[in-house]
Structure 1
Amino acid sequence: MSTGDNQTTEQEVQGTYATENEQTAEQQEQSEAAGTSELDQLRVQSEENYQRYLRVQADFDNFRRRARLEKEDFAKYASLKLIEQLLPVVDNFDRALSSSKEAKDFEALVKGLDMTFRQLDQVLSQEGLKPIDAVGQPFNPEFHQAIMQVESEEHEEGIVVEEVQKGYMLKDKVIRPAMVKVSV
């Protein structure tokens, strides 16, 4: 091999390295450019997600506020339906009282009060109010409140013999236990 041949080979090798270095530099630039554009895309996506999060948070805050206001409104007017049903009963009581004052008719007053009581009882029954059946039943502390024990020959021990005050249930819940006398 001659010296000229060595120089050609060295130039070829250096050219090859230069070409490889240029290609590597181009690839790095392309990678950096691709990385930069990918990073920009991720930043845009991150910003979109953050904005979406803020909108959802605001929607949720609005929902909570609306739910709280609806709950307050419901509590404020919960008895509206019952009051509307009781107004005719109040009107009938008023008519019965004013009629009895004018006519001084005791029997008409009693009849009017009886009719009004039945109307009131019907409204309360429609709302789920039921009287607790007590007399003759075994004493049950869930439904009865014993205020006195009495000796009774006609009833076994622990049987309700007299109801002092009526008890009531609203649907399945005792709202006032019956006050009773229990046999011993």
Structure 2
Amino acid sequence: MKDEQTIQGEEQQLNTEETPEVNGTAQDTATEPMNEAASIEAEEENGEVARLRAELEEQQQRLLRVQADYDNFRRRTQKEKEELAKYASMKLVTELVPVVDNFERALATAPQGTDGDSFTKGVGMIFRQLEGVLTAEGVTAMETIGKPFNPEFHQAIMQVESDEYEEGIVVEEVQKGYMLKDKVLRPAMVKVSM
């Protein structure tokens, strides 16, 4: 029978054989799982970094689009404000144009004579004053006779034969047309040659 010391020595020798060597291959096999785990962790971190970079790029693109939309909105709003200011008096001027027509009719039918002359001069002065106010607001009468018919500026009420004008030319103005700056306030009622 083996004595107790021998048994302990054998156990110690067995334990030493199982323990990996510090400079041998036994330690290499132990570090391989650690290297593998570290490389998997590094790959996961690289994937997370790539995902975060892509998300950052997407957010930056979204920010640029929002800024461009805001700039377009600001420009459009500024243009609308300018146009509103430019044509702010349109409603009032539209209502005044028939008054101008009536003044012209009154001047055309004014009585002749001494009393008629002073009446005509007074009404004429009022008419010129009203025209001055309208002109200051940007209202101008259209020149139509002898011009080609344009449906944007003219409203044809009749076609007439004319030796003086070619076909499609305005030969007579029945009612004046007016422009407010560069917009048609009221189209002119005209007769057109055929």
Q: TM-score, normalised by structure 2?
A: 0.47
Q: TM-score, normalised by structure 1?
A: 0.48
Task: Please identify the structure whose Cα radius of gyration is greater.
Answer: 2
